[in-house]
């Protein structure tokens, strides 16, 4: 494996982790918005949705943490230039995991924004 490839793979890992950190920070802000919303009088339906979002944020924050740790471990392997084929295969698998999680996170973010924008609280 040439040095350029190693640098590129390591840079991609760093980019993925930064994107996941951004989602983590955004979802912590969303949790705070949910707490503020809970201070208001909400309908039963809205309370159900608040609970849904709180559960989803908890789950996805754990998924973010787990994937960040996996990426960090992979990045160490890349830096050590372990078996070329294994590193590339692992990198591709991680890319697919990252893209799948990112899609889920974007859907949750959009769903939450719609909920906040469409929820009129007295």
Q: Which pLDDT value is given to residue 42?
A: 85
Domain boundaries, the chain: 3-41+49-117
Work out the mean pLDDT of the chain and round it to a whole number: 90
Give the pTM. Answer: 0.88
pLDDT at 14 over 80: yes
Q: Tens of pLDDT along 60-86? A: 999 999 999 999 999 988 888 755 667
- For residues 42 and 121, is the Cβ–Cβ distance under 8 A? yes
Q: Which pLDDT value is given to residue 97?
A: 98
Q: Which pLDDT value is given to residue 39?
A: 84
């Amino acid at each position: 494996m040439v040095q350029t490839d190693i640098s590129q793979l390591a840079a991609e890992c760093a980019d993925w982790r930064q994107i996941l950190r951004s989602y983590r920070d955004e979802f912590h802000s969303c949790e705070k918005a949910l707490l503020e919303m809970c201070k208001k009088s909400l309908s039963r339906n809205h309370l159900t949705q608040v609970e849904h979002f709180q559960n989803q944020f908890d789950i996805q924050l754990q998924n973010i943490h787990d994937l960040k740790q996996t990426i960090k471990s992979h990045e160490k392997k890349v830096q050590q230039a372990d078996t070329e084929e294994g590193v590339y295969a692992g990198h591709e698998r991680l890319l697919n995991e990252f893209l799948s999680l990112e899609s889920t996170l974007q859907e949750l973010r959009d769903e939450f924004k719609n909920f906040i924008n469409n929820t009129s609280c007295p």
